Structure 1
Amino acid sequence: MDPPIDTLVGLLAHQARHSRDREFLRFEEGSWTFGEIADWTARLARRLVEEDGVRPGDRVAIMLPNEVRWPVAWLSILAAGAVAVPVNSSYRRADLEFVLRDSGARLVFTDAAHAPLVDEVRTANSDLADVRVIDVAAPGELTRFPVDAPAAEITGGTLANLQYTSGTTGFPKACMLTHDYWVRLGWVCAHAAGLGSDDVALTSQPFSYMDPQWNTALCLTIAAPLVVLPRFSASGFMADVRRHRATFCYVLGSMPTLLFKQSPDPQDRDNRLRIVLCSAIPAALHQQLEQRWGAPWREIFGMTESGVDLVSLPEDSADVGSGRLGRQVPTKQVRVVDPHGIDVAEGQSGELITSGLPMMLGYWNRPGDTAQVLRGGWLHTGDVAVREAGGYRLVGRLKDMVRRGGENIASAEVERALERDRVVVAAAVLGVPDELFGEEVKAFVQLAPGVEGCEETAQRIVDAARKELARFKVPRYVEFVDDFPRTPSERVSKPALRARAAERPGVTYDLQPARHGRGGPDLTGNHLDIRIDDDVAVLTLNRPDKLNALDMRTRLLLAQTIRRFGAGERVRGIVLTGAGRAFSAGEDLQQVPATYYEIRAAFATFHDITRAILETKVPVIAAVNGIAVGGASELTLCCDARIGSPAAEYFQPENHRGIIISNASSILLRRLVRNHAMRIILGSNRIGADEALRIGLLDEIVAPEALVDRAAAVVREWNSDPRISALHLGLLRPRPEDIEAAFAREDEAARLAWESGAFSEGVEGFWAAKNAAPPAPAPSK
């Protein structure tokens, strides 16, 4: 079903005929009816055409604060058949120069406060010298023009806005938005929220942002008034809701948290709100927000590019506190896909993509960016989501992740955990360089007024979040800030925050100070020996008393070392071996994980060794000197060849206990031994050197004393020309995307095994085998 009227100009004309005397816009300076706004915008549109020389398709900028002249300017530009270019009224010279130059706007609606900045830009840039400032004349100044809009040909497909995005990376891009986009956005939201002419909508965002504009389209759809506040004020917002008797409002970003952290008021539930739509309702506060203000709060998801995609309806009470975004709106299709565009299973994470209407035409003057985000008829949002319980839940942003020790950590997940603390107004998480883990998690935290920003406070906040986060996700560093740089859509600008932190660093509390000394990471006690044998790096796992069991620190160091030598700048190849009678016993059983989150942390470090090996530009040879148990057995699969001594033996006992510390064996083992893989995994048989050679798990067997030398010789034999070898390795090894898909399958199998009880039972079995009391299993997640 489509909206009956597909242009904003047509909607305004319709309401001027049928609801002429009904209130339409209410600002601090007064109130205007549909008829008054229709007449004002028609006369101003006439002036634009007849005196200002505006022609269909011309771009006209608007740089005004929240006052009635903003929507009047917007609607008059559209009535003239031109294209509106909203400009943030807080922009400075560089921002304004960019938008005017990029959009090609030659007229700017502005006021006395902003006109000097426009003049400064015109004077400093010869290509912008012909930009003219025009005013939004009052109705009494336009009586010489008729109240009939110009005879411009306007359809639903006519371009209405160049709407610039927040520009979190570099300069912003302009989304090309049509009349149909705005009409459909208002129409869909009105129906989803069940709004009608008896409602009163309220907004506090600057009008240059998306929200007041689609709120205007919504009120044009239902013939209801829109209240526009000068700005958002957490302390005064709900009082304004009561004063204006608002029944509907939209908030986003940090606004719900800021509102909730205001002191409770006996009048909190004394309001007429029927529904609040919001983007990013804090899951832990969701039910409390509803209870406090006595109205349903529901998620709505969309982007400037796509308008609206998902919404939780008023009756969807099961969504409360779940973090779910609701279901797709009737005019949209939504999917969650892997990097190849293939739909992932329910409960698995992937990129959220969407198609249907409303949708931008593309990015202005940026065909490459348009082609990148709009592929095969689907908009790729860059958001990571999971599909569950008939809805969708966001996990984070593809580009807003911290990569710690091989594990991808969604900043948003950590931020939500921190913001559940009542003393935290807002939090932002960034990855900071770390020599051992690659990146560490740092939290920037804004505290409620009166709370002391000290190490004790930092530790208490992090300890509270620790109950909800896997160990590897817990922030190591905390820095308290007074506020955050924000995008126009009220999200924290991570690039600006990172730049500010570098330029003006604050006090940072290191909550794990014992790990690092002044000289960098403390690697004493690691169990990896490193030597260069001629032009080959020999890495020896050296913990013979524990069968070279791999603890977390050694696994991280091993991956880091393989990457360092894997570039091929210092050595021709790598040999990986073990000391004593074992290649490695895999996971250190003295540190066996006792919760699924700890299992995931262990998986991540094994996975990262696989990634490190398969990313090298040089051959990696496993010299299997003895038993290779569990994760270590699988570690040899990643190598390009396996040369063993007669004592070489492969064994994966954990498979019979439901513990699969997998290193992508689902793809690597079948690559090597094909139909033997099934009996190796399901049978969990010990495989000696001769059997391993027969089925292809070993390439050759040599005497123990010749093992490492033979492996090094193979490296040199294979890598006579490093350039050719690197090309061949890339062809012969599994593709990175196939490995990542295998990781995802194995991690999902581990999760299901844990939730079934088989996994936790297997962990306890390991502890029992060591005559240790098993730890209490953690609840399923």
Structure 2
Amino acid sequence: MKLSPDRLGEDPPVPTLTALLAERAAQSPDGEFLRFGDRAWSFAEIDTWTSRLAHRLIETDGVGIGDRVGIMLPNVVHWPVVWLAVLKAGAVAVPINAVYRQADLAFVLKDSGARVVFTDGDRTPLVRKVADDGLAGVRAVDVAEDGSAGYTGTAPGIPVTGETLANLQYTSGTTGFPKACMLTHDYWVRLGWLCAAAAGLGPDDVLLTAQPFSYMDPQWNAAVALTVGAPLVVLPRFSASGFFADVRRHGVTFCYVLGAMPTLLYKQPPDPADRDNDLRLVFCSGIPVDLHARLEERWGAPWRELYGMTESGIDLVSLSADAVGSGSLGLPVPTKQVRVVDQDGAEARRGELTIKGKPMMTGYWNRPEDTARVLRDGWLHTGDVVVRGLDGGIRIVGRMKDMVRRGGENIASAEVEATLERDAAVVAAAVVAEPDDVLGEEVKAFVQVADGVAPDRATAESIIERAGAQLARFKVPRYVEFVEDFPRTPSERVAKTELKARAAAGPGPRYDLGTRRATSVPGSVRVELVRDVAVLTLSRPGKLNALDVATRLRLAELVREFGDGRKARGIVLTGEGRAFSAGEDLRAVPTSLADVRTAFETFHDITRAILGTEVPVVAAVNGLAVGGASEITLCCDTRIGTPATEYYQPENGRGITISNASSVLLPRLIRGHAMRTVLGSPRIPAAEALRIGLLDEIVEPENLISHAVDTVVRWTPEGNTTALHLALLRPQADEIEAAFAREDEAARKTWESGAFSAGIQRFWSTKATDARQETSA
């Protein structure tokens, strides 16, 4: 079925998600429905699988109509399968963020009353621990063996209507802990219909989502796919560097992005293939006004604004090109009414946005007072302060809610405050939003500490580290400011407006635990401190951070300076730009045997420096790592890469010997792969490097440094014996020195045989030929 904007006001012909799936399976049994990675499932396959799983829920787990079933999974096909199976069983799905930790998970399970949680092997121990700590009767089911195979593929005969409750969708409200919006089948079916009609989607389209499936966006994307019979591509996670490569690879015609995603995408280096895509339309929420037109120009498709909330689905849409760059969220969809009201409830040009119509939640689970406060006479009070334009279009100017919106995540201040205040070192805490250029807002905590606790950086880090063990990462405060007391209202609430004004006039001790403090140093290695971790960045991006002798000497010096544990708790090595390092600077190659010895000795010196530190050394391999540079990473205690990481050791092909003691280190890390890596000189991409052991982890580029710093902090707890363990686990000095001696002798032979010079000459000849061919083309 292909829809168009002129059908926005129609009622969907099918009232439930389960009926939609059955209809698609009957009409297009072989049509592709879900695509995860390189695997796809048809409508008929998902219909059968979900029916079998629904029977298992009923017959094995004893799930009855209205029972709640938790889903705590990353983006794998089992997520939508469990969701639809729960709905077929007449039960209610409780999406749970897969990164939740103990405090978050315990709250959701207790509040929802979920009896069964579908999860995976990584999270099953956490679910069981939470259950053992006071939630007896909660069962964890590992989806790796969901137990559905033995059941019939015919849907159970459970009566389900449009008004049947489908989800308890947790969302951070204006105050307090997350609240569960009660969402019916009608909510999801209408939301799918409205989005499909607004975008003019049909069965020939290909949809894509990159948000976690526990959020509402992938779920309404699934409803859209069921509505029009189109496939939905689900990415494991959002990656700014890889997003449009996936758009091209899958032939995507429609996608939705929100929060910081447009900004992060635009910050990626331009690519000649940017406009080589099949996109017809991008829906998004919160496009930076000055970026809107540039986004459309760069990727060659219209970007159109949507406004909605979990409570109300979709409310406003801007389909006109005239709105590009205006900041307008557009006009109400035909099934919604909007009013802008002042504090007295009278209509105004500027005030709070209120909404009425369908879809709409039926209320907050277990919270009648919150429901009554937000839903008044059928009008949803959004808490957003807006201005209505002369054309009726709506523009947001602020929020009334006591919450932080960090990169598209809604974070209730009270939830973070409660976690902080459980700390014995904390008397009271107040959490506010701090403006941020990329994420929109960051989390800031004002903290009053107990008597005898020093308001210093070490205290701030220890408090946040303990809070981070209980909260999802996106909720953890980046900023901490210590205060002696809090200004309060007559009802003893913290007066946050007054608090922020007081801090602006005379701030207390304030610490940024999330960004780097730059220290100016000479040479081509930049030094920065992140949470007392020294980040050493090779800083010659125009030369792919190639390593000349001076750079190597400086790097070894800095490793020793920060490696004794007095100035830093650890070291992170990385590169600026798209390369970790291109290795030996071939514009400054040795011209004598003495130069060869100097070159090798300076590489050896880096190895000695790294292996001699008393703190962990982490290689954050941001891109290409060539030759001696890739070998530098082998000395580090762990190697963390990104999808763009690539290892290349071309020495054998150039007649050069390996250096940096990799004759010891490489086999130690990758065993039998060492021969192929050195003698075959292949380029090894990130996934292969992870498989064979060159990399220990792969993270997204925007998380690389923070994750490397987190690793150091985690490995160096207070009162640690890290230095002793490093001495025991690292290669012994005599073993490394023996390798140096062998490599020095091999280097002498390659120089005296002429292989070294010939290899370098071949490199430059190839470069010159490539340059001539590029010029003639």
The amino acid of 1:33's aligned partner reads: S
Query: How far does residue 142 in structure 1 lie from its aligned partner after superposition?
Result: 3.4
Q: Which residue of the other structure, out of 173, 181, 192, is the alignment partner of 1:175? A: 181
> Is the 8 Å Cα contact of residues 28 and 67 (structure 1) preserved in structure 2?
no
CA distance in 2, matches of 1:41, 1:286: 41
CA distance in 2, matches of 1:488, 1:196: 40
CA distance in 2, matches of 1:379, 1:202: 30
> Is the 8 Å Cα contact of residues 166 and 488 (structure 1) preserved in structure 2?
no
The answer for the alignment partner of 1:425 in structure 2 is 438
The answer for the alignment partner of 1:102 in structure 2 is 111
Q: Which residue of the other structure, out of 326, 331, 334, is the alignment partner of 1:330? A: 334
Query: How far does residue 500 in structure 1 lie from its aligned partner after superposition?
Result: 4.3
The answer for the alignment partner of 2:141 in structure 1 is 134
CA 1:431–1:23 in structure 2 vs 1: closer, same or farther (change >3 Å)? closer
Q: Which residue of the other structure, out of 54, 62, 66, is the alignment partner of 2:75? A: 66
Partner of 1:117, secondary structure, is helix
CA 1:221–1:362 in structure 2 vs 1: closer, same or farther (change >3 Å)? same
> Is the 8 Å Cα contact of residues 201 and 248 (structure 1) preserved in structure 2?
yes
> Is the 8 Å Cα contact of residues 444 and 478 (structure 2) preserved in structure 1?
no
Residue identity (%): 64
The answer for the alignment partner of 1:617 in structure 2 is none
| Map 1:486-505 → 2, pairs under 5 A | 497=477, 500=480, 502=482
> Is the 8 Å Cα contact of residues 276 and 296 (structure 1) preserved in structure 2?
yes
| Map 1:360-379 → 2, pairs under 5 A | 360-379=361-380
CA 1:291–1:186 in structure 2 vs 1: closer, same or farther (change >3 Å)? same
CA 1:289–1:67 in structure 2 vs 1: closer, same or farther (change >3 Å)? same
> Is the 8 Å Cα contact of residues 49 and 150 (structure 1) preserved in structure 2?
no
Q: Which residue of the other structure, out of 381, 399, 402, is the alignment partner of 2:401? A: 399
The answer for the alignment partner of 1:83 in structure 2 is 92
How high is the TM-score relative to the length of structure 1?
0.52
CA 1:97–1:516 in structure 2 vs 1: closer, same or farther (change >3 Å)? closer
> Is the 8 Å Cα contact of residues 433 and 443 (structure 2) preserved in structure 1?
no
The answer for the alignment partner of 1:152 in structure 2 is 158
The answer for the alignment partner of 2:123 in structure 1 is 114
Query: How far does residue 134 in structure 1 lie from its aligned partner after superposition?
Result: 1.8
Query: How far does residue 373 in structure 1 lie from its aligned partner after superposition?
Result: 0.1
Query: How far does residue 168 in structure 1 lie from its aligned partner after superposition?
Result: 7.2
Query: How far does residue 428 in structure 1 lie from its aligned partner after superposition?
Result: 3.0
Q: Which residue of the other structure, out of 172, 187, 212, is the alignment partner of 1:166? A: 172
The amino acid of 2:125's aligned partner reads: P
Partner of 1:262, secondary structure, is coil
| Map 1:16-31 → 2, pairs under 5 A | 16-28=25-37, 30-31=39-40
Q: Which residue of the other structure, out of 58, 65, 69, is the alignment partner of 1:56? A: 65
The answer for the alignment partner of 1:508 in structure 2 is none
CA distance in 1, matches of 2:400, 2:508: 33
The answer for the alignment partner of 1:565 in structure 2 is none
> Is the 8 Å Cα contact of residues 181 and 364 (structure 2) preserved in structure 1?
yes
The amino acid of 1:3's aligned partner reads: P
The amino acid of 1:150's aligned partner reads: P
CA 1:429–1:106 in structure 2 vs 1: closer, same or farther (change >3 Å)? closer
> Is the 8 Å Cα contact of residues 278 and 297 (structure 1) preserved in structure 2?
yes
CA 1:283–1:129 in structure 2 vs 1: closer, same or farther (change >3 Å)? same
CA distance in 2, matches of 1:84, 1:137: 19
The answer for the alignment partner of 1:318 in structure 2 is 322
> Is the 8 Å Cα contact of residues 209 and 488 (structure 1) preserved in structure 2?
no
CA 1:416–1:60 in structure 2 vs 1: closer, same or farther (change >3 Å)? closer
CA distance in 2, matches of 1:180, 1:305: 13
> Is the 8 Å Cα contact of residues 349 and 395 (structure 1) preserved in structure 2?
no
> Is the 8 Å Cα contact of residues 159 and 178 (structure 1) preserved in structure 2?
yes
Query: How far does residue 124 in structure 1 lie from its aligned partner after superposition?
Result: 1.4
Partner of 1:196, secondary structure, is coil
CA distance in 1, matches of 2:505, 2:438: 30
CA 1:51–1:296 in structure 2 vs 1: closer, same or farther (change >3 Å)? same
Partner of 1:177, secondary structure, is strand
Structure label with greater radius of gyration:
1
Partner of 2:355, secondary structure, is strand
> Is the 8 Å Cα contact of residues 65 and 207 (structure 1) preserved in structure 2?
yes
The amino acid of 1:142's aligned partner reads: S
CA distance in 1, matches of 2:271, 2:78: 35
CA 1:282–1:193 in structure 2 vs 1: closer, same or farther (change >3 Å)? same
The answer for the alignment partner of 2:53 in structure 1 is 44
The amino acid of 1:391's aligned partner reads: G
Q: Is 1:193 paired with 2:231?
A: no
> Is the 8 Å Cα contact of residues 108 and 134 (structure 1) preserved in structure 2?
yes
The answer for the alignment partner of 1:357 in structure 2 is 358
Deviations 1:398-443 (Å, cap 9, x if unpaired)? 13699xxxxxxxxxxxx99988xxxx5344389999xxxxxxxxxx
> Is the 8 Å Cα contact of residues 260 and 440 (structure 2) preserved in structure 1?
no
Query: How far does residue 391 in structure 1 lie from its aligned partner after superposition?
Result: 1.1
| Map 1:298-313 → 2, pairs under 5 A | 298-313=304-319
> Is the 8 Å Cα contact of residues 207 and 232 (structure 2) preserved in structure 1?
yes
CA distance in 1, matches of 2:133, 2:230: 45
Query: How far does residue 180 in structure 1 lie from its aligned partner after superposition?
Result: 0.3
Q: Is 1:221 paired with 2:222?
A: no
Query: How far does residue 288 in structure 1 lie from its aligned partner after superposition?
Result: 0.3
> Is the 8 Å Cα contact of residues 7 and 180 (structure 1) preserved in structure 2?
yes
How well do the aligned residues superpose, as a CA RMSD in angstroms?
A: 3.1
The amino acid of 1:118's aligned partner reads: V
> Is the 8 Å Cα contact of residues 34 and 41 (structure 2) preserved in structure 1?
yes
Deviations 1:101-129 (Å, cap 9, x if unpaired)? 1000010101111000011112211xx11
The amino acid of 1:133's aligned partner reads: A
CA distance in 1, matches of 2:162, 2:260: 34
CA 1:430–1:103 in structure 2 vs 1: closer, same or farther (change >3 Å)? closer
| Map 1:649-668 → 2, pairs under 5 A | none
CA distance in 2, matches of 1:288, 1:78: 42
The amino acid of 2:298's aligned partner reads: R
CA distance in 2, matches of 1:417, 1:121: 33
The answer for the alignment partner of 1:3 in structure 2 is 12
Q: Which residue of the other structure, out of 272, 284, 290, is the alignment partner of 1:284? A: 290
Query: How far does residue 518 in structure 1 lie from its aligned partner after superposition?
Result: 11
CA 1:343–1:59 in structure 2 vs 1: closer, same or farther (change >3 Å)? same
CA 1:144–1:349 in structure 2 vs 1: closer, same or farther (change >3 Å)? same
Deviations 1:509-538 (Å, cap 9, x if unpaired)? xxx9xx979999xxxxxxxxxxxxxxxxxx
The answer for the alignment partner of 1:12 in structure 2 is 21
Q: Which runs of 5+ in 2 are unaligned?
A: 1-9, 405-431, 447-467, 484-500, 510-777
The amino acid of 1:158's aligned partner reads: T
> Is the 8 Å Cα contact of residues 168 and 181 (structure 2) preserved in structure 1?
yes
Deviations 1:168-220 (Å, cap 9, x if unpaired)? 74320000000000000010000001111100000000100010000000000
Partner of 1:77, secondary structure, is helix
CA 1:261–1:418 in structure 2 vs 1: closer, same or farther (change >3 Å)? farther
The answer for the alignment partner of 1:482 in structure 2 is none
Query: How far does residue 30 in structure 1 lie from its aligned partner after superposition?
Result: 1.2
- Matched residue count: 432
CA distance in 1, matches of 2:218, 2:312: 16
CA 1:98–1:519 in structure 2 vs 1: closer, same or farther (change >3 Å)? closer
CA 1:432–1:115 in structure 2 vs 1: closer, same or farther (change >3 Å)? closer
CA 1:119–1:78 in structure 2 vs 1: closer, same or farther (change >3 Å)? same
Q: Which residue of the other structure, out of 265, 275, 284, is the alignment partner of 1:269? A: 275
Q: Which range moved further: 363-372 or 115-124?
A: 115-124
| Map 1:449-598 → 2, pairs under 5 A | 497=477, 500=480, 502=482
> Is the 8 Å Cα contact of residues 282 and 416 (structure 1) preserved in structure 2?
no
Partner of 1:250, secondary structure, is strand
The amino acid of 2:136's aligned partner reads: A
Q: Which residue of the other structure, out of 254, 259, 266, is the alignment partner of 1:260? A: 266
> Is the 8 Å Cα contact of residues 443 and 479 (structure 2) preserved in structure 1?
no
The amino acid of 2:97's aligned partner reads: N
> Is the 8 Å Cα contact of residues 316 and 329 (structure 2) preserved in structure 1?
yes
CA distance in 2, matches of 1:430, 1:45: 41
CA distance in 1, matches of 2:334, 2:472: 25
> Is the 8 Å Cα contact of residues 100 and 472 (structure 2) preserved in structure 1?
no
